Structure 1
Amino acid sequence: MNEQLNTFIQVAESGSFSKAAEKLFISPTAVMKQINSLEKHVGVPLLIRTNHGVELTEAGKSFNKDAAFFLQYFQEAVLRIRQAAQGNQHVIRVGTSMLNPCKVLLDLWNEISDQYPQFKIKIVHFEDDAYTLPTTYRSIGKYFDFIVGPYLIEDWKDYFSVLELGSYRFSFAVSRNHRLASKITLSVKDLYGEKLAVVKGGKSAVIDGIRDFLIRNHPKIKIKDVPRLYDIDVFNRCEQSDTVLLTLDAWSDIHPSLVTIPSDLDFTAPYGLLYPLNPTETVSQFLEIIKEMQTE
């Protein structure tokens, strides 16, 4: 099943048996056999064969959304089996993305990693997409043991626990061509007459507090509510529209054409290690080590 899933993903991406065969270093005939076997197993056609290549059926499109997760889950299961066989080796899976980089945790761990050789770190990439991020965070414990980042939305506490490591300050990001781009710091009054994008996806008490504060005390700022979560597209849209973005100082390097400038807003957002509500023994042991570092 592992090979069949991998083959299906390659065929779906390339739209061709022969192109998928080139990527997999096997023959087109072998690719077709694996796809035929997969379709027989699931009981429905996944691909439409044409003279110009292959296309996904509606069932294939649905299956394609989950195939990568199936494959990763299978690989993780194999990894756990091997860990059990090795006995004393424990792999900690750390999620990473542009907005949630794992460097904070790795910097902590690298200070003491030689004292705990039984733990190995595996980096697992995920996308900063506003539409898939809720699912990503709900999958903590399935595909990741930890994600490092801010926790702005209180409702997510039903899906994971948090070990707080510190806090980020709120800043303003502007295009490098914006009239405010040369400022060293920005006061709220500097934004009078400007459009300010405020991300309101989900429920965030701290962001709602900032928004209410600005509306009540600084009505000359034009608040532009963004009905989604922070993702790369939000940064792109603000740069293209010359809109000021309410952001965090930790995201100063996200977009090369945006300048992130410290603000005089007296608001912060906590950040830390996001981990499963019911962590495994291995994750709990790793967590206790990090907690001990904080108390030293």
Structure 2
Amino acid sequence: MNEQLHTFIQVAESGSFSKAAEKLFVSPTAVMKQINLLEKHIGVPLLIRTNQGVELTEAGKSFNKDAAIFLQHFQEAVLRIRQGRQGSQHVIRVGTSILNPCKVLLDLWNEISDPYPQFKIKIVHFEDDAYTLPATYRTLGKNFDFIVGPYLTEDWEDDLQLLELGSYRFCFAVSRNHRLASKKTLSVKDLYGEKLAVVRGGKSAVIDGIRDFLIVNHPKIKIKDVPRFYDIDVFNRCEQSDTVLLTLDAWVDIHPSLVTLPSDLDFTMPYGLLYPLNPSEDVKSFLEIIIKEMKSKRRR
């Protein structure tokens, strides 16, 4: 309707379709089409077509007096709606890093986001540095609202919550020059005589369970405890020292000089959306949408 009113006003002022088309930077045919649609919508002729141009009918003269006011009110209403929509937009800040990429959440959100235009995603980068990561997780909610990744330690219970999306399997990563690199999979017994780096940057029942299982049942593996979080430096050190690294299948492409191989370990690590203990109202609403849509997908 906005375009039809604007076209009608130009035709009434110009006195012809061709002159109105020049002012509107469209073809005369496009102008006539808009006028025809407007007349059809109103139900009465607004113009008299002649060889010399067009003239307003009595109804057209009456309508012309109000058309500019209609158009102004329409444009003001659209502006108010758009401003109101912008004012009600909620920005959800998602942290992303090499070890904690946000793609899982973005892929999920892109599938379900159409009914929720009020939410916008802002991606915020952070560093995978073992020495700064504890503070990053403790202050979740300050610089970003979510991190997508594995729940690596129960020490986080006092600082954040997890909306579980799935689980990762444990694998072994070795240098491409390592004697085991050519294998398709690695069994625990393949590691006999090898050093295995086990990252224990906090209290983790899963990782501690793996470590205890290996010590008790496979003492021929030399466990090397790494008292820090997983970070890029851990991957670098394992590649340089030919140490086998206990890792996750989600990190298969982290280091180009490491080969990540499936293992026969029957352990998994939960992963999902990490968010603050006391989330904002926007974050709560966003979580409710994610949970609702996940339940809906499971029922299909």
Q: TM-score, normalised by structure 2?
A: 0.70
5 Å-filtered alignment, 1:139-178, equals: 139-178=139-178
The offset of 1:87, in angstroms, is 2.2
In structure 2, stretches of 5+ residues that fail to align are 1-82
The offset of 1:84, in angstroms, is 9.9
The offset of 1:200, in angstroms, is 1.4
5 Å-filtered alignment, 1:122-137, equals: 122-137=122-137
Counterpart of 2:114 in 1: which secondary structure? helix
The offset of 1:88, in angstroms, is 1.3
User: Aligned residue for 2:199?
Assistant: 199
The offset of 1:264, in angstroms, is 0.2
Is residue 234 of structure 2 the alignment partner of residue 234 of structure 1?
yes
User: Aligned residue for 1:37?
Assistant: none
Structure 2 distance, partners of 1:224, 1:161, is 30
**Partner deviation per Cα, 1:128-170 (whole Å, 9 max, x = no partner):** 0000000000111111111000011001111011100000000
Tell me the amino acid that sits aligned with residue 170 of structure 2.
Answer: F
**Partner deviation per Cα, 1:251-272 (whole Å, 9 max, x = no partner):** 0010000000000000000001
The offset of 1:85, in angstroms, is 10
Structure 1 distance, partners of 2:269, 2:260, is 16
Structure 2 distance, partners of 1:95, 1:158, is 20
User: Aligned residue for 1:108?
Assistant: 108
Structure 2 distance, partners of 1:131, 1:263, is 29
User: Aligned residue for 1:250?
Assistant: 250
Is residue 276 of structure 2 the alignment partner of residue 295 of structure 1?
no
The offset of 1:86, in angstroms, is 3.9
Count the aligned residue pairs.
Answer: 214
**Partner deviation per Cα, 1:7-42 (whole Å, 9 max, x = no partner):** xxxxxxxxxxxxxxxxxxxxxxxxxxxxxxxxxxxx
User: Aligned residue for 2:222?
Assistant: 222
User: Aligned residue for 1:93?
Assistant: 93
User: Aligned residue for 1:69?
Assistant: none
Structure 2 distance, partners of 1:191, 1:279, is 44
5 Å-filtered alignment, 1:1-80, equals: none
Counterpart of 1:115 in 2: which secondary structure? coil
User: Per the alignment, do residues 178 and 114 of structure 1 end up closer, same or farther by CA in structure 2, a change over 3 Å counting?
Assistant: same
Counterpart of 2:265 in 1: which secondary structure? coil
RMSD of the alignment, in Å?
A: 1.4
Q: TM-score, normalised by structure 1?
A: 0.71
Contact 2:95 2:123 in 1 (8 A): yes
User: Aligned residue for 1:79?
Assistant: none
User: Per the alignment, do residues 85 and 293 of structure 1 end up closer, same or farther by CA in structure 2, a change over 3 Å counting?
Assistant: closer
Tell me the amino acid that sits aligned with residue 242 of structure 1.
Answer: D
Larger Rg: 2
Contact 2:85 2:118 in 1 (8 A): no
Counterpart of 2:236 in 1: which secondary structure? helix
Counterpart of 1:142 in 2: which secondary structure? coil
Is residue 253 of structure 2 the alignment partner of residue 282 of structure 1?
no
**Partner deviation per Cα, 1:206-227 (whole Å, 9 max, x = no partner):** 1111001000000111111111
User: Aligned residue for 2:271?
Assistant: 271
**Partner deviation per Cα, 1:186-215 (whole Å, 9 max, x = no partner):** 100000011100111211111111001000
Structure 1 distance, partners of 2:225, 2:246, is 11
Structure 2 distance, partners of 1:155, 1:227, is 14
